Chain A
């Protein structure tokens, strides 16, 4: 799409020489509603959060509101439970992203070939991603993890029963391994997302290049390491970064499965609790600002990856 083409598109509407500034604004006008709306609804609240973060403000004692400079930030970094939730967030995000990318890659490789019912299998595989997150979390909590009649223990009892074992181990998953329980549910939801992106990557490989390598006598493993993996690199990066951005913000699974208990409270949940239940407005805001700073670090990389893919696309057009 060349600039001259774009200018040409508006040519019939102009009689004679239109003043340059008016034309520029005519081009900008369609953009403005969306821009103004977005700035008002997303940027202004954040500015307000930054302001509130400098105040000592508990809504239960509104008269004590006072400017407190950086003391909320000091508390964010010194409060052990907040620090723990930072650690939990990092651990949860990293483990879910890594495991779901690896599983997603395996599933994508499996689906990247013709077989009978491929479309149906793909539909089966993306179903977990399409469940409403709350219902997926409820499903894991009550239907799968329940220690007495959950599917996991039930299937295990049935399986060991085949071998005549009377009382197989029946762990209480959520209380014995809370963070892993939350992570497993999230991995189940996010693996299809990774699979979809990586499958798109696999299908954009050049067929000629693959065929040439095959004719040159490369085996499947060599082709995977030297052709497929380098080609997939950007798609892997994109999956990791988009996945991180969504999973760092996860609230539904933590809220539903453990209600933040047993050391599973991540930052979004902790902030929600700090302001919604503890009414510590200033502290919650400071924690929110810290999350944003952390996210900006990740997002800078994310934007770079997306922008390289995007520019490639724009260059091709």
Chain B
């Protein structure tokens, strides 16, 4: 990006190269320091409890899977599988529901535009700016009175509403990237709407749809406030379970780290996979 195209005198070029090597090394150092707490968590998760809680820290202690073994229930604690499965259910189902609702909406906002489409876009966005706590009590009362408390499907509905505005915005920006000319060309060739959607729009928008899904999945998986207030035992999600790892059994650092690693793993995987599209998603499609 910053490689100069104009020829430079060799002395300056050498100085420039040395400077950019130094900055590259600096970037590496800063990256490692910045990520150090997370890397430390990963390392601690493979340590025995006695090595995890030492001062000064024990970098070279022998590695073990004990933390993970205890977390997965071999140590007699509550099994993390039901919460993990709940989280997976809530995240996957709400992501699917978001896609079902957002795709047609984005179609109406980008390809076959409704009148005043920008106003509609901003209505969607404004719901995202409404603080969650402002609606929490009625939602809780509704759940309580309809017997939906501690029900994972109720969370699915809430997570869908939480992610729908983001998805509509992202999807709109991805669908708007489909050139009108190829849609028109396909229609001139006699293709009907479903064919156009499947053969022309879908392939172009597929990476965007995938990124949208990943981001919705991440936000649902991470959510704590709704899950904390609205679930109990049966529908407990992984983040809620995680907050209980410490309180129920006292503080075991290696186990806590192992638990954090396991719960974060799906999000890390999804995030690394969507790196390039992450920005566009997080800025609601406003930045490309």
Q: Known interface pairs A131-B264, A138-B256, A317-B176. Does A5 touch B184 (Cβ–Cβ under 8 Å)?
A: yes
Q: Which residues of A sit under 8 angstroms from B243, Cβ to Cβ?
A: 134, 138, 255-256
- The one of A31, A139, A242 that contacts B41, using a Cβ cutoff of 8 Å: A139
**Once the chains bind, are A249 and B132 in contact (CB under 8 Å)?**
yes
Is residue B204 contacting chain A, with contact meaning CB distance below 8 A?
Answer: no
CA A143 – CA B37 in complex, angstroms?
8
Q: Known interface pairs A27-B108, A112-B1. Does A149 touch B53 (Cβ–Cβ under 8 Å)?
A: yes
CA A184 – CA B3 in complex, angstroms?
36
Is residue A92 contacting chain B, with contact meaning CB distance below 8 A?
Answer: no
How far does the Cβ of B239 sit from chain A's closest Cβ, in whole Å? Answer: 4
Q: Which residues of B sit under 8 angstroms from A204, Cβ to Cβ?
A: 288
Is residue A245 contacting chain B, with contact meaning CB distance below 8 A?
Answer: yes
Q: Known interface pairs A45-B139, A129-B271, A303-B122. Does A197 touch B279 (Cβ–Cβ under 8 Å)?
A: yes
Q: Which residues of B sit under 8 angstroms from A131, Cβ to Cβ?
A: 38, 260, 264, 267-268
- Give me 22 A-to-B residue pairs in the complex whose CB atoms sit less than 8 angstroms apart, sorted by A's number: A6-B112, A10-B193, A28-B108, A33-B100, A34-B105, A34-B124, A38-B164, A52-B138, A110-B23, A124-B31, A126-B275, A133-B239, A134-B242, A138-B243, A138-B260, A197-B282, A201-B287, A211-B6, A238-B283, A275-B136, A307-B118, A313-B173
Q: A48-B138, A211-B4 are in contact. List 20 more A-B contacts (CB 8 A).
A: A1-B180, A9-B180, A13-B192, A27-B112, A29-B104, A31-B114, A34-B168, A113-B2, A122-B31, A131-B264, A132-B263, A138-B243, A140-B37, A143-B257, A154-B55, A251-B224, A271-B133, A288-B133, A299-B129, A306-B286
**Once the chains bind, are A272 and B229 in contact (CB under 8 Å)?**
yes
The closest CB in chain A to the CB of B225 belongs to A251
Q: Which of B65-73, B74-82, B153-161, B205-213 contacts A (4 or more CB under 8 A)?
A: B153-161
**Once the chains bind, are B56 and A157 in contact (CB under 8 Å)?**
yes
**Per-residue contact bits, chain A 159-170, to B (CB 8 Å; 1 contact, 0 not):** 001000000000
CA A112 – CA B34 in complex, angstroms?
17
Residues of chain A at the chain B interface (Cβ within 8 Å): 1-3, 5-6, 8-13, 24, 27-31, 33-35, 37-38, 41-46, 48-49, 52, 107, 110-118, 120-135, 138-140, 142-144, 148-151, 153-155, 157-158, 161, 188, 191, 193, 196-197, 199-201, 203-204, 207, 211, 214-215, 235, 238, 242, 245, 248-249, 251-252, 255-256, 267-268, 271-272, 275-276, 281, 284-285, 288-289, 291-292, 295-296, 299, 302-303, 306-307, 309-311, 313-314, 317
CA A281 – CA B141 in complex, angstroms?
10
**Once the chains bind, are A130 and B264 in contact (CB under 8 Å)?**
yes
Q: Which residues of B sit under 8 angstroms from A31, Cβ to Cβ?
A: 104-105, 108-109, 114, 120
Q: Which residues of A sit under 8 angstroms from B160, Cβ to Cβ?
A: 37, 41
Is residue B183 contacting chain A, with contact meaning CB distance below 8 A?
Answer: yes
Is residue B13 contacting chain A, with contact meaning CB distance below 8 A?
Answer: no
- The one of B2, B161, B287 that contacts A197, using a Cβ cutoff of 8 Å: B287
Q: Which residues of B sit under 8 angstroms from A138, Cβ to Cβ?
A: 242-243, 245-246, 256, 260
Q: Which residues of A sit under 8 angstroms from B108, Cβ to Cβ?
A: 27-31
How far does the Cβ of A266 sit from chain B's closest Cβ, in whole Å? Answer: 10
- The one of A11, A38, A317 that contacts B127, using a Cβ cutoff of 8 Å: A38
CA A154 – CA B285 in complex, angstroms?
43
- The one of B225, B267, B275 that contacts A123, using a Cβ cutoff of 8 Å: B275
**Per-residue contact bits, chain B 223-264, to A (CB 8 Å; 1 contact, 0 not):** 011001100000000110011011000010100110111011
Q: Known interface pairs A30-B108, A211-B5. Does A132 touch B260 (Cβ–Cβ under 8 Å)?
A: yes
- The one of B134, B161, B257 that contacts A38, using a Cβ cutoff of 8 Å: B161
Q: Which residues of B sit under 8 angstroms from A288, Cβ to Cβ?
A: 131, 133-137
How far does the Cβ of B12 sit from chain A's closest Cβ, in whole Å? Answer: 12
Residues of B in contact (CB 8 Å), total 121
The closest CB in chain A to the CB of B167 belongs to A34
**Once the chains bind, are B28 and A121 in contact (CB under 8 Å)?**
yes
The closest CB in chain A to the CB of B139 belongs to A45
Majority-rule SS of B interface residues: helix
**Once the chains bind, are A34 and B104 in contact (CB under 8 Å)?**
yes
**Once the chains bind, are B120 and A43 in contact (CB under 8 Å)?**
no
Q: Which residues of A sit under 8 angstroms from B56, Cβ to Cβ?
A: 154-155, 157-158, 161
Closest 9 CB pairs of A and B: A115-B24, A30-B104, A45-B135, A135-B260, A48-B138, A158-B56, A41-B161, A130-B271, A34-B105
Q: Known interface pairs A143-B257, A214-B4, A309-B287. Does A9 touch B242 (Cβ–Cβ under 8 Å)?
A: no
- The one of B131, B158, B261 that contacts A268, using a Cβ cutoff of 8 Å: B131
Is residue B125 contacting chain A, with contact meaning CB distance below 8 A?
Answer: yes
How far does the Cβ of B28 sit from chain A's closest Cβ, in whole Å? Answer: 6
- The one of A9, A115, A207, A313 that contacts B111, using a Cβ cutoff of 8 Å: A9
**Once the chains bind, are A268 and B225 in contact (CB under 8 Å)?**
yes
The closest CB in chain A to the CB of B110 belongs to A1
Q: Which residues of B sit under 8 angstroms from A197, Cβ to Cβ?
A: 279, 282-283, 287
Is residue B130 contacting chain A, with contact meaning CB distance below 8 A?
Answer: yes
Q: Which of B6, B23, B27, B164 has the most CB of A within 10 A?
A: B27
**Once the chains bind, are B136 and A271 in contact (CB under 8 Å)?**
yes
How far does the Cβ of B69 sit from chain A's closest Cβ, in whole Å? Answer: 19
**Once the chains bind, are B2 and A314 in contact (CB under 8 Å)?**
no
How far does the Cβ of B193 sit from chain A's closest Cβ, in whole Å? Answer: 7
The closest CB in chain B to the CB of A281 belongs to B137
Q: Known interface pairs A38-B164, A135-B242. Does A110 touch B30 (Cβ–Cβ under 8 Å)?
A: yes
Is residue B216 contacting chain A, with contact meaning CB distance below 8 A?
Answer: no
**Once the chains bind, are B132 and A6 in contact (CB under 8 Å)?**
no
